[in-house]
Amino acid sequence: MDLSPKPARRAPSAPSLAAGRLPGSISILRRWRPAAVAAVAIVALVAAGWWTVDRFLLDRRPIVVGILHSLSGPMAISETSMVDAEVLALEEINQAGGLLGRPVRWVIADGASDWPTFARKAQELIHDRKVDVIFGCWTSASRKTVLPVVEAADHLLVYPMAYEGLEQSPNVIYVGAAPNQQIIPAVQWASASLNAKRFLLVGSDYIWPRCVNAIAGDQIRGLGAELVGELYVPFGSDRVDPLVEEIVRTRPDVVLSAVVGDSAVAFFRRLRQAGIRSDDVPVISFSIAEDELQTMPRGDMVGDYAAWNYFQSLDSPANQTFVRSFKARYGNQRTTSAVAESAYTGVRLWAQAVEESGTSEVVQVRSSLRSQSMLAPEGVVSIDRQTNHAWLAVRIGKILPDGQFEIVWDSERAVRPVPFPLTRSRADWEQFVRDLYQSWGRRWSKPVSAADAPASSGRPGA
CATH number attached to the domain at 181-313+420-457: 3.40.50.2300
In the Cβ-directed half-sphere of 180, how many Cα atoms lie within 13 Å? 14
User: What pLDDT is attached to residue 456?
Assistant: 36
Query: pLDDT tens string for the chain (462 positions)?
Result: 443 444 444 444 444 434 444 445 445 445 556 665 565 556 556 555 554 444 445 568 999 999 999 999 999 988 999 999 999 999 999 999 999 999 999 999 999 999 999 999 999 999 999 999 999 999 999 999 999 999 999 999 999 999 999 999 999 999 999 999 999 999 999 999 999 999 999 999 999 999 999 999 999 999 999 999 999 999 989 999 999 999 999 999 999 999 998 899 899 999 999 999 999 999 999 999 998 898 888 778 899 999 999 999 999 999 999 999 999 999 999 999 999 999 999 999 999 999 999 999 999 999 999 999 999 999 999 999 999 999 999 999 999 999 999 999 999 999 999 999 999 999 999 999 999 999 999 999 999 775 554 433 333 332
Using CA atoms, how far apart are residues 139 and 458, in angstroms rounded to an integer? 16
Q: How many CB atoms lie within 10 A of CB 258?
A: 23
Using CA atoms, how far apart are residues 275 and 288, in angstroms rounded to an integer? 20
**DSSP class per residue in 146-197:** HHHHHHHTT--EEE-S--------TTEEE-S--GGGTHHHHHHHHHHHS---
Helix axes 317-330, 76-95, angle to 10 degrees: 100
CATH number attached to the domain at 63-177+316-391: 3.40.50.2300
* Backbone phi and psi for residue 114, each to the nearest 5 degrees, phi listed first: -130, 120
**DSSP class per residue in 236-290:** T----HHHHHHHHHH--SEEEEE--HHHHHHHHHHHHHTT--TTTS-EEESS--H
Is residue 245 a contact partner of residue 269, using CB atoms and an 8 Å limit?
Answer: no
Could you tell me which of 310, 311, 370 has the C-alpha nearest to residue 158? 370
* Distances, alpha carbon 111 to alpha carbons 41, 118, 281, 340, 384, in Å: 58, 5, 35, 17, 28
Contact partners, residue 94, CB within 8 Å, separation at least 6: 103, 104
Burial class (CB in 10 A: 0-12, 13-18, 19+), 441: exposed
Locate all alpha helices (DSSP H) within 53-75, ordered by sequence: none
Q: Cα angle at 308 between 305 and 310, to 5 degrees? A: 115
Q: Cα angle at 182 between 261 and 147, to 5 degrees? A: 65
Q: What residue ranges of the chain are covered by domains with CATH 3.40.50.2300?
A: 63-177+316-391, 181-313+420-457
Could you tell me which of 342, 369, 364 has the C-alpha nearest to residue 353? 369
Using CA atoms, how far apart are residues 354 and 102, in angstroms rounded to an integer? 11
Is residue 400 a contact partner of residue 408, using CB atoms and an 8 Å limit?
Answer: no
Burial class (CB in 10 A: 0-12, 13-18, 19+), 213: buried
Is residue 63 a contact partner of residue 354, using CB atoms and an 8 Å limit?
Answer: yes
Using CA atoms, how far apart are residues 356 and 348, in angstroms rounded to an integer? 12
